[in-house]
Amino acid sequence: MAQLFMDLLSNLTNCLFCFPGSPQLKVNNRSFKLLRLLGEGGFSYVYLVQETSTSQLYALKKIRCPFGQESVSLALKEAEAYALFSPHPHIIHAVDHAVTSANDKSDPGSKTVYILLPYYRRGNLQDAINANLVNHTQFPERRLMILFLGVAKALKAMHQYRVKGAPGGAKSRQKAQNVRDEAEEADKDAARKARTRRKDVDAEDEGDVEQEPLMNGEVTRSQEGVEDGEIRAYAHRDVKPGNIMISDSGTSPILMDLGSLAPSPIHITSRALALQTQDLAAETSTLPYRAPELFDTKTGTAIDTKTDIWSFGCTLFACLVGKSPFEMRSEETGGSLSICVLGGDWRFPDEESMASGGGKKKKKKMNKKGNNGGDIKGKGKEGEGEGEEREDGGISEGVREVVRRCLRVEGSERPDVDEVIGMIEKVVEELPPEDGEDDG
């Protein structure tokens, strides 16, 4: 009860940062003014901050770590992953990070983690989707596919990461290891402080330790036993519109939130491991974009990077239609979203369900623009240059096929990231350049 009260008090204190005259905060001797709350979830808060010496805007993520052993390691896993894949043009990097004592008398071992990130004024793809829905507009299709090509290249850096290899080589690997070492030391300090306050250690905590390393915190530590230059693959595990920022130029995507990152593949050798995998996915992978093998994880299978390919397809569909294919289908049928996912039950708005034959277009009365009312700016004059495949729903056949290939229920039937990149490059080449677009 006391801990619940402290959490509520902390939440109230965090809200005070949103008001004018809010206090300044220091992160490693850099002073920042907290301007407003950008978002929150669980034990974390993200603020828009301004560095007092330069007036530069940043996003500051604050993570409270009151829940005992290894909590700092879990919180700093995100910064560790950012360091490992930096520099990459399509993966966000951490500008700075810090671990401080939380000064919580009820839990003397608790810590607070701060991660300083770049701020992108255009927001993320979900913001753009929402704007399209409000304004009854659509993404210019070719420009959208170029953005998704960047997302696929970010995933390739994770899916095909080589120990001490590109993008940052041994230097980035060492930075990531330094973050891991710092996190482990902070957790040891928290444990020491907690032991001085209560001598008895919960035996249940020790019993859980063996299964904890499954996917929760292992970024650099999962590379043990892998030779330099060999592949140590990772899956993002939470690809969705809200985790893809748009650069200030509007031309480049930046994949973020690597707190869900997991070594790949994960071999499911027992029922207990299967249930643990599902539970972790429920915590870290957003429901409408989660792959079917994370809803129903079977013993004897392997969970690999194809989970990201599924989420990639869902995200592309959401940008084209306005929501995840399984959100849309579950709303249409009134059925469970998870059942729609497991059955591969989805469709484009102008097609029959993939679960009942798949991909067959409904007969539909067209308006004079040759589509269903969605006028995509920069696609040429009305009725010209669209081709037959543009007539239904305003989505070209090549783009539809990328989505279909990604949303195969069986992971083994989905393309790998290189195949996805090849498909998108072909689509971009075939689509006509848009008005004012530099083809290079």
Please, which pLDDT band fits residue 436 given cuts at 50, 70 and 90?
low
Look up tokens 């985790």; give the residue.
Answer: 243
Residue 203 pLDDT: 45
Residue 437 pLDDT: 61
How much of the chain exceeds pLDDT 70, in percent?
75
pLDDT tens track for 123-159 = 999 999 999 999 999 999 999 999 999 999 999 999 9
Amino acid type, 401: E
pLDDT tens track for 239-257 = 999 999 999 999 999 999 9
pLDDT tens track for 110-123 = 788 999 999 999 99
pLDDT tens track for 282-339 = 999 999 999 999 999 999 999 999 999 999 999 999 999 999 999 999 999 998 999 9
pLDDT tens track for 68-108 = 556 788 888 899 999 999 999 999 999 999 998 866 666 66
pLDDT tens track for 373-417 = 333 333 333 333 333 334 445 899 999 999 999 999 999 999 999
pLDDT tens track for 31-48 = 999 999 998 876 789 999
More confident call, 42 vs 431:
431
CA distance 157 to 154: 5
* pTM for the full predicted model: 0.81
Please, which pLDDT band fits residue 22 given cuts at 50, 70 and 90?
low
Amino acid type, 250: G
Rounded to the nearest integer, the mean pLDDT of the chain is: 82
CA distance 338 to 327: 10
Residue 70 pLDDT: 60
- How many C-beta atoms lie closer than 10 Å to residue 433's C-beta? 12
